[in-house]
Amino acid sequence: MGITSWAPAGIGGRAEPVEHGVWLDASHVRPLPGADYSHIPTRTISAAGKQSWTLQDLPHRPGTRLIHVIGCHPGTPLTLDQTLDALRQPRTVPCHTCKAATSLPT
């Protein structure tokens, strides 16, 4: 599922509709009254060895990094082991916006 928006196409500069796929945490969306969402596919991200997180270096805070649930911030996908290894490093924390900590095993 995606969101359709207008984007420039080609050299002529004409705008054409383009679908953009997005990942959203349930806390970032709300249903429209009266809309039927039963046909919209949903997926949960499994922590069982899947590539489900990304790592962001913060240039304005050298040495500080954030772990994100995939879709919150672009980046190379990380496996669970890579994510846990990164979190063991000093100044690496889970993102509060996407609630990355809740997607990790306790």
Runs of H (alpha helix) within the chain: 80-87
81-101: average pLDDT: 91
Confidence check: pLDDT of 88 > 90: yes
| Percent of the chain residues past pLDDT 70, beyond the cut | 75
Mean pLDDT, all residues of the chain:
79
Say what the pTM is: 0.53
C-alpha separations of 85 from 53, 89, 90 in Å: 12, 7, 11
33 alpha-carbon distance from chain centroid: 26
> pLDDT tens digits for 47-72?
444 668 999 999 898 899 999 988 88
Confidence check: pLDDT of 43 > 60: no
28-39: average pLDDT: 83
Confidence check: pLDDT of 41 > 70: no
Q: Quick one: 72 exposed, middle or buried, by C-beta within 10 A (0-12, 13-18, 19+)?
A: buried
